[in-house]
Amino acid sequence: MRYENGELQDLLAAEYVLGNLRGAARRRFVNLMHRHPGLRRSVAHWEEDLFPLMASAPTVQPPARVWRAISARIAGARSAAGTRLVWWTRIALAGSALALAALLYVGLAPPREPPVTTIAVLNDARAEPSILISWTAAQAAKRQVSVRILTHPEMAPSTSWEAWLLPADAAPPISLGLITNEIHQTLQVSAASARALDRAIAIGVSVEGKAGSATGRPTEPFLLKGPTLRL
């Protein structure tokens, strides 16, 4: 895996900071950061961009019942020897309430601007990134999708790789087109595919015949798959 690739580092760092890397993938990324300074720099960059947004969130006044519950817990824990501990507990609880309010604001407040880019990092069976598919609002208007090959085995003769968009409403997969071996590609998608881009929750790639699926649906299980992420 070419983890020195700057674009790949930036995309993986974004998923890590946003919390989209889970389980083994997240642990592997943490280990990779120890060996790749570029990954650490990318993570720091994303943290610098996102954390100020939390700090700029307006103060939210918790309901009175929250303060009553906090006061009751503090009163129950107060003792002559623990006065200082109670004081710090009060500060910690207040800080936690403010942090929670900031997180809720960031997570629930509507975005000020439309999403700039939608990306999907397609992983193989070993959870290794293989293909990056992305598009901007301007590209979607032109019915175009960008493809970058990160790493994948050679295609078998008389076969092709077909990308499929998976809509959020559990509708059948929609073909985005055939993918070649070229590192940088631009797919010209159909009008129906372009209209469905905003509903995509994931993208998969299946192995099909040379001309693609003859049925309009994947004929094999997805070889690669990944969720979409809007940045």
**Taking 90 as the threshold, does the pLDDT of residue 43 lie above it?**
no
**Taking 60 as the threshold, does the pLDDT of residue 52 lie above it?**
no
Distance CA 213, CA 79 (A): 73
Lowest mean pLDDT among 4-8, 12-16, 197-201: 4-8
Alpha helices in the chain (DSSP H): 6-17, 23-35, 37-55, 64-77, 83-108, 137-141, 191-196
SS3 198: helix
Residues 185-212 have pLDDT tens digits of: 899 999 999 998 888 889 999 888 888 8
Higher-confidence residue: 79 or 49?
49
Decide: residue 143, CB within 10 A, 0-12 exposed, 13-18 middle, 19+ buried. middle
Distance CA 191, CA 207 (A): 23
Residues 111-162 have pLDDT tens digits of: 555 556 888 888 888 878 888 899 988 889 999 999 988 876 677 888 889 9
- Percent of the chain whose predicted confidence (pLDDT) is above 90: 11
Confidence of residue 73 (pLDDT cuts 50, 70, 90): confident
Residues 76-121 have pLDDT tens digits of: 655 544 555 555 555 555 555 555 555 555 555 555 555 568 888 8
Using DSSP bridges, classify how beta strands 144-149 and 184-188 pair: parallel, antiparallel or unpaired: antiparallel
In whole angstroms, how far apart are CA 77 and each of 68, 69, 97?
14, 13, 19
C-beta of residue 146 within 8 angstroms of C-beta of residue 162: no
CA 180 from chain centre, in angstroms, equals 25
Global pTM value:
0.53
| Mean pLDDT, rounded, of the chain | 77
C-beta of residue 134 within 8 angstroms of C-beta of residue 117: yes
